[in-house]
Structures are given as C-alpha cells and as structure tokens.
Amino acid sequence: YSTMSANRGKLIVFEGCDRSGKSTQCAKLIERLRKEGHKAELLKFPDRTTSIGLMINNYLANNVDQRDEVIHLLFSANRWEGMQKMTNLLLGGTHLVVDRYAYSGIAYSAAKGMDLQWCRQPDIGLTKPDKVIYMTLNRDKASERADFGGERYEKKEFQAKVEKIFEQLQDPTYWQVVNGEGTIEDVHENVFNVVSPVVSSDCGPLKKLWT
C-alpha cells in the first residue's frame, strides 16, 4: 500500500454538539464529492451495527447503565474496530467523511467531569483526520431541531458543557469552524470550500492522533 500513499483518500471528520447539522452536511458532502468524480464513503461513530455498537446504543437509549469509564472505553473500542477498514479505504484512494470521531469521545466524557487526559489515552494512535469540520449552532436553535431530547446527553445544560470541551480540543492546524446556521445549501458551500483544497492536495502519509 505504501506506494499508493501519494494518492490516498483524505479523512474528513465532522464534529460538534447534537443537532448541529453534522449528519445532513456529511450526506451533502458525500454526494458532492461523488458528483465531482471522487471515491467517497460515509462513516459514522458510534457505529451501532457492531456488537460493541449495540452495547453503546443500549446505553444511549437509556436501556442500560454503564460506569463512565466503561462506556468511554466502548466508544473508543468501537473506533478501533473500524480502523482496518478505514485504513484500507484511505490507502485505496477513497475519501472518508466521518460523522463524529475521537473528539466527541473526549468531549462527551469530559463533560461528565472525567479527567480530559485520561479520556484522551485510549484514542491515541487512531488515524489522524486531514481536516476536522467543527460545526457550531446556537444551542436554543439546536434544541428546537427535530428529536432533541430523545437520547442520553441530549440536554441543553449538558450540551453547553460539551461545547466548552470541544472549544478546548480545537487545533487550528487542522480544524475549521463552520457555522451551522443558514440554509443547508449555504452551509454546504462553506463546508465544500474547506474540503475542496484538502481533497486535491497531497497530505502526505497517514498520521496518528496525538503521537
């Protein structure tokens, strides 16, 4: 695979609080990349289709409780179990658009009061995104959007804490903030203006997070 790294796909991650428009924009971006002739796949974390993902789903749906440490490690394990597939796709030239990643893992756990450095440890070594699109949205507007309040964590006060941690995690060397307010089309144009130069540039070999 190493000889293909010059033409490798790029890892584009969307992050942000609940109902900030991430999933809608991920879908729009995939559609746009494909229309422009790129190979592109959409991934989402948590991936609720695996057996670990099923445990996470039961926790989020409030069907079961877990110690904070346990659910944190399950979220991380859920990313690690996707790593081989992600690496293969990237090295094969497919761009990946990923709805949430390790930053959500840290932000939601640390917002409960867990130690941020402890929370970061299990995700050290995951493939590093080429770009993180951090979507912001006024919290009152977010909670007015459909379905808010259905799952664990979907509470205004908790989301405010999550947002604070996301702000601490922002790394201007590869993060770009995109305002989620405005029409889907307008936000998409802003997203695409950020992503377009990334997919057409040589980002070098795949890197690892926080190493």
In the complex, the residues that contact ligand 2DT under the rule CB under 6 A are 18, 45-46, 60, 75, 100, 104-105, 108, 153
- Backbone CA torsion sign across 26, 32, 35, 38: negative
Least gap, CB of 100 to ligand 2DT (angstroms): 4
Least gap, CB of 18 to ligand 2DT (angstroms): 6
Please tell me whether residue 44 adopts helix, strand or coil conformation. Answer: strand
Return the number of the residue (8 or 101) whose C-beta is nearest ligand 2DT. 101
Return the number of the residue (153 or 175) whose C-beta is nearest ligand 2DT. 153
Residue partners of 168: CB distance under 8 A and separation at least 6: 116
Least gap, CB of 164 to ligand 2DT (angstroms): 15
Return the number of the residue (108 or 134) whose C-beta is nearest ligand 2DT. 108
| CA atoms of 71 and 41, how far apart (whole Å) | 27
| CA atoms of 192 and 77, how far apart (whole Å) | 30
Cβ-based neighbour number of residue 77 at 10 Å:
16
Least gap, CB of 122 to ligand 2DT (angstroms): 10
